[in-house]
Amino acid sequence: MGLVMTLTQSSRLGLEAGCSVFLEQGLCLPYPALKASRSPGWDGLLPTLCLSLRVEFIKLASENETVNLGQGFPDFAPPDFAMEAFQHAVSGDFMLNQYTKAFGYPPLTKVLADFFGKLLGQEMEPLKNVLVTVGAYGALFTAFQALVDEGDEVIIIEPYFDCYEPMTLMAGGRPVFVPLKPSPSQDGELDYSSNWQLDPTELANKFTSRTKALVLNTPSNPLGKVFSKAELELVASLCQQHDVVCISDEVYQWLVFDGNQHISIASLPGMWERTLTIGSAGKTFSATGWKVGWVLGPDQLMKHLRTVHQNSIFHCPTQAQAAVAWSFEREQQHFGQPSSYFVQLLQATQHKRDHVTRSLQSVGLRPVIPQGSYFLITDISDFKSKMPNLPGAEDEAYDRRFVKWMIKNKGLSAIPVSIFYSVPHQKHFDHYVRFCFIKDEATLQAMDKKLQKWKAELTP
């Protein structure tokens, strides 16, 4: 009993949101979360980690020879120049096997300051305005810990990349959700991510004197929305009016389709001083396993992130940073030209988007055409009305039951979108599933085979 009383998790981990799941891998938080404490009589009901739905779906997928369009990362290699850069980093100067500068390998912070300084229209200094982190995930964590205090409110736009909520809670903050809402589309008409919008009045009402930060994700996961200038100006004016920090997750910034423009909110008037802009080498160079990300921002905010960084991990691995630096230098030379990887990846990914969109429609799924990112969500309401009683746990959201059914019976995996919503809102958004389309041609062809078989089963 004594042992159990002492050996509890810290209360900081008694996160009260329900099952918050990180989808690309791994385990989820306690479901429902119990706030462990050292109070007497506490009898050892340690919160149990549940296997994430993700892991459950992956396991199901592998057991059923599934075409995996669930996991959100490429199933092809990084470009040759990036592979070569990493090979060079690991076989060249042996001192790259040792610690580099804590806040970022100098050639990397320099190229990031140059490259993004131009894009954001801001003079950036490598030591003051750039911090290299362990992935964009690490950048987000560092930002929340640096700025969010107990009782602070953080505005999160739904549907959201699911780590925003637990990171807010771990910092003692209170997430305040505001939904993107689709305008009703006509029957038979395609839905577009641009159709999903914030209600300006509703958004304005979410700001209080306790609001510390707003998390913006553009292009967004899972919806693929690319916020327009007008939408960003609305967010910007509210952030300025209420003196709020904007944490802008722009990891998919190079994947913006149909000639749309990615706009960094930090480049809008009055926003540089209150915005942290987060990026990812993993998404930029199709090398998610390198786990190199960064934050860009004004020194008066960045110094607090540096404090968190030096008291959490201190250094990031050197060689991966060297590889990213060389890769950026290469891209700088080719920027805007047909030989640029950003241009080529964008073209290839847009083509994949179109392919997947057409293929999904052939079985009565209704994709929401994304303006950006490498995800799309698809409306499954028709299936919900035709087959409402799919097997699953009592009260299990429809989209989760649908995905399990699809894995077992159709050999395709996806991710239920209700996972990207706050618990109270999940039941309103249980009729969408997310597909990741940044997959090899062979994977997409395998997907087509499965969909053709599915279609054949639909016709009597």
Partner 1 sequence: MFLAPRRLCSFGSSAKFLKTIYPSNILGLPTSAKMSLKLKNARRIEGLDSNMWVEFTKLAADPSVVNLGQGLPDISPPIHVKEELSKVAAIDGMNQYTRGFGHPSLVTALSCLYEKFYPNKINPNKEILVTVGAYGSLFSAIQGLIDEGDEVIIIMPFFDCYEPMVRMVGATPVFIPLRSKPVDGKKWSSSDWTLDPQELASKFSSKTKAIIVNTPHNPMGKVYTKEELQVIADLCIKYDTLCISDEVYEWLVYTGNKHFKIATFPGMWERTITIGSAGKTFSVTGWKLGWSIGPSYLIKHLQTVQQNTIYTCATPLQEALAQAFWIDIKRMDDPECYFNSLPKELEVKRDRMVRLLESVGLRPIVPDGGYFIIADVSLLDADLSEMNNNEPYDYKFVKWMTKNKKLSAIPVSAFCNSEAKLQFEKFVRFCFIKKDSTLDAAEEIFKAWKNQKS
Among 183, 260, 307, 362, binds partner 1 (CB under 8 A): 307
Nearest Cα to 160, choosing from 178, 172, 145? Answer: 178
- Which CB atom, from 303 or from 427, has the smaller least distance to partner 1? 303
- Which CB atom, from 317 or from 416, has the smaller least distance to partner 1? 317
- Which CB atom, from 138 or from 179, has the smaller least distance to partner 1? 138
Site residues for partner 1, 181-240, by CB under 8 A, read 212
How many Cβ atoms from other residues are within 10 Å of residue 2's Cβ? 6
Chain Cα centroid distance, residue 453:
32
- Which CB atom, from 15 or from 368, has the smaller least distance to partner 1? 15
- Which CB atom, from 25 or from 409, has the smaller least distance to partner 1? 25
Which two tokens mark 323?
């590889």
Tell me the window of 132-140, 331-339, 352-360, 408-416 that interacts with partner 1 (CB under 8 A): 132-140
Regarding 62 and contact with partner 1 (CB under 8 A), the answer is no
Nearest Cα to 408, choosing from 55, 58, 60? Answer: 60
Tell me the window of 149-157, 345-353, 372-380, 428-436 that interacts with partner 1 (CB under 8 A): 149-157
List Cβ neighbours of 128 (8 Å cut-off, separation of 6 or more): 299, 302
Report the DSSP pairing between strands 293-296 and 130-133. Answer: antiparallel
Cα 418 to Cα 19, 20, 389, 431, 437: the distances in Å are 11, 11, 17, 8, 19
Tell me the window of 191-199, 302-310, 349-357, 378-386 that interacts with partner 1 (CB under 8 A): 302-310
Q: Which residues pair with 176 in a beta bridge?
A: 155
CB of 154 to partner 1, least distance (A): 12
Regarding 7 and contact with partner 1 (CB under 8 A), the answer is yes
Among 319, 350, 359, 371, binds partner 1 (CB under 8 A): 319
Among 53, 69, 146, 345, binds partner 1 (CB under 8 A): 146
Cis amide bond preceding 222, omega within 30 = yes
Regarding 5 and contact with partner 1 (CB under 8 A), the answer is yes
Look at the block and give the residue holding tokens 């200038």: 229
Contact at 8 Å (CB) between 232 and 386?
no
- Which CB atom, from 2 or from 391, has the smaller least distance to partner 1? 2
Regarding 148 and contact with partner 1 (CB under 8 A), the answer is yes
Among 17, 120, 155, 163, binds partner 1 (CB under 8 A): 163
Report the DSSP pairing between strands 211-217 and 245-249. Answer: parallel
What letter represents residue 383's amino acid?
F
Alpha-carbon span 105 to 126, nearest angstrom: 10
Tell me the window of 308-316, 332-340, 410-418, 420-428 that interacts with partner 1 (CB under 8 A): 308-316
Chain Cα centroid distance, residue 359:
25
Alpha-carbon span 222 to 215, nearest angstrom: 15
Site residues for partner 1, 8-47, by CB under 8 A, read 8-13, 22, 24-30, 38, 46
What letter represents residue 291's amino acid?
K
Report the DSSP pairing between strands 130-133 and 174-179. Answer: unpaired
Regarding 56 and contact with partner 1 (CB under 8 A), the answer is no
Site residues for partner 1, 69-98, by CB under 8 A, read 73-78, 83, 86-87, 89-91, 94-98
Contact at 8 Å (CB) between 226 and 270?
no
**Following DSSP, what letter does each residue of 111-140 receive, concatenated?**
HHHHHHHHHHT----HHHHEEEESHHHHHH
Alpha-carbon span 109 to 325, nearest angstrom: 8
Tell me the window of 2-10, 153-161, 328-336, 375-383 that interacts with partner 1 (CB under 8 A): 2-10
CB of 163 to partner 1, least distance (A): 7
CB of 166 to partner 1, least distance (A): 5
Regarding 303 and contact with partner 1 (CB under 8 A), the answer is yes
Tell me the window of 288-296, 374-382, 412-420, 424-432 that interacts with partner 1 (CB under 8 A): 288-296
Contact mark string toward partner 1, 229..248, x via CB under 8 A: --------------xxx---
CB of 427 to partner 1, least distance (A): 25
CA dihedral 419, 411, 62, 404 (to 10 degrees): 30
How many Cβ atoms from other residues are within 10 Å of residue 83's Cβ? 15
Tell me the window of 128-136, 383-391, 406-414, 441-449 that interacts with partner 1 (CB under 8 A): 128-136
- Which CB atom, from 124 or from 322, has the smaller least distance to partner 1? 322
Size of the site for partner 1 (CB under 8 A): 92
Tell me the window of 139-147, 179-187, 372-380, 406-414 that interacts with partner 1 (CB under 8 A): 139-147
Among 53, 178, 235, 320, binds partner 1 (CB under 8 A): 320
Q: What are phi and psi of 223, to 5 degrees?
A: -75, -30
CB of 288 to partner 1, least distance (A): 5
